[in-house]
A = this chain, B = another copy of it.
Amino acid sequence: MPFSRGSIRILRSGTRLAVQGEIVITIRDVAREAGVSIATVSRVINDSARVNDDTRRRVWDAASRLDFWPNGAARTLTTARTNAIGVLLPDLHGEFFSEVIRGVDRAAREARLQVLISSSHADTEGVLAAARTMRGRVDGLIVMAPDRGSQAAIDQIRTRFPMVLLNSRAAAKGGLALSVANYDGAYRVARHVLARGHGKVAILKGPRGNFDAEERLRGYRKALREVGTAATAVDELDGDFSESCGVIAAAQILRMTTRPTAVFAANDYMAIGLITGLREAGVRVPADIAVTGFDDIVIAQYVTPPLTTVRVDACDMGERAVRMLIGTTGPETRAPLNRKTMSVDVVIRESCGGATPRPAATSTRTTGRRTR
């Protein structure tokens, strides 16, 4: 290579990453190589102003010869734009989250935005600290804080970033918020099952303080109240959204003198653990006990018996959140989008005793997705 290829920068010893030497080529190197000023190089690579065709070509040639990669941090500093969005999540576990992230990534890619992810924020301080480090690195934030006590942090974040609140309790004082119709979904699936008549019913709750869990609980309760005398006794079992606590709940149920004939689990993982625990004890689902879940994770239709549940399109939720954030809500909605709720579908499968009294939507979730 006959020309200067920029300098090899040896990073300072404080550097954590084990960099040996890294080729660093700046706009200045390109300018020198092309025989123009750095301003012209900038204009060319950003296509931001009229540049002589010949000059333009020279610059592009130089840039590709040197394989120039613009520095994002420098751009950010001058433009006050990062072209990135941040996502703050409580925990990255479970299919629900990964689907949300997938949706976010998808919509972000479409809008040519990068995605910064930070998870496991149970407490206010964690969320706030994460948001803080994102200053100067993202243009906006998508925050999911289903637990109590994050309100203060959220309010503070809102003064610093455009933000969309996902599935959170937060009162949303004028902010953007997107949530799942937890209450509605729980109510509807419970109504469906209760229509068959059940004398004793149990509810397997989600984590205490979790907003989704609470909303679903409210929905179940409402359905039970409406059915009134039919379901006289209701047990509420504690759960934490994990499969294993479903297994534990099964054991609790087995110990009851009068077992429930239906159990509403606040999510699919718990429902699956519950079914497994019951089956191993020789209890038939749904013949002896009907079970329902929530979320419609991919596997719900493949367990035995296939799980009656409520479909939440987490991927779509992620996509929408991004669109809300960038203000491009698409043609379908021109409404003032302060608060939005994602509707859900009740998916009736065998675990609740079948599609009585009326047939309901069945899953179409079998398209050929590539999963790895």
**A binding-site residues for B, Cβ under 8 Å:** 9, 11-12, 15-20, 22-23, 67, 69-77, 79-85, 91-98, 101-102, 105-106, 109, 111, 113-120, 132-137, 139-140, 156, 159-162, 206-207, 210, 212, 240-245, 247, 267, 269, 272-273, 275-276, 295, 298-299, 302-304, 325-328, 366-372
Contact = CB atoms under 8 A, between A and B. Distances in A.
Contacts of A98: 92, 95, 97-98, 101
B95 A18 contact: no
Nearest to A122: B370
A115 B114 contact: no
Contacts of A94: 371-372
A11 B80 contact: yes
Nearest to A111: B16
Given A115-B117, A241-B370, 14 more contacts: A12-B80, A16-B327, A17-B139, A20-B162, A22-B161, A71-B135, A75-B136, A84-B116, A101-B117, A109-B120, A240-B368, A240-B370, A244-B368, A269-B371
A83 B134 CA distance: 11
A273 B22 CA distance: 47
A72 B134 contact: yes
Given A101-B98, A371-B241, A116 B116 contact: yes
9 contacts: A16-B327, A67-B156, A70-B136, A71-B136, A72-B135, A73-B74, A94-B372, A109-B119, A302-B303
Nearest to A119: B105
8 cross-chain pairs, A with B, having the tightest CB-CB distances, nearest first: A98-B98, A71-B136, A94-B371, A18-B327, A304-B304, A73-B76, A72-B136, A69-B135
Contacts of A207: 370
Contacts of A325: 17-18
Nearest to A85: B17
A90 to B, nearest CB: 8
Contacts of A136: 70-75
Given A101-B117, A240-B368, A18 B326 contact: yes
B326 A302 contact: no
A247 to B, nearest CB: 7
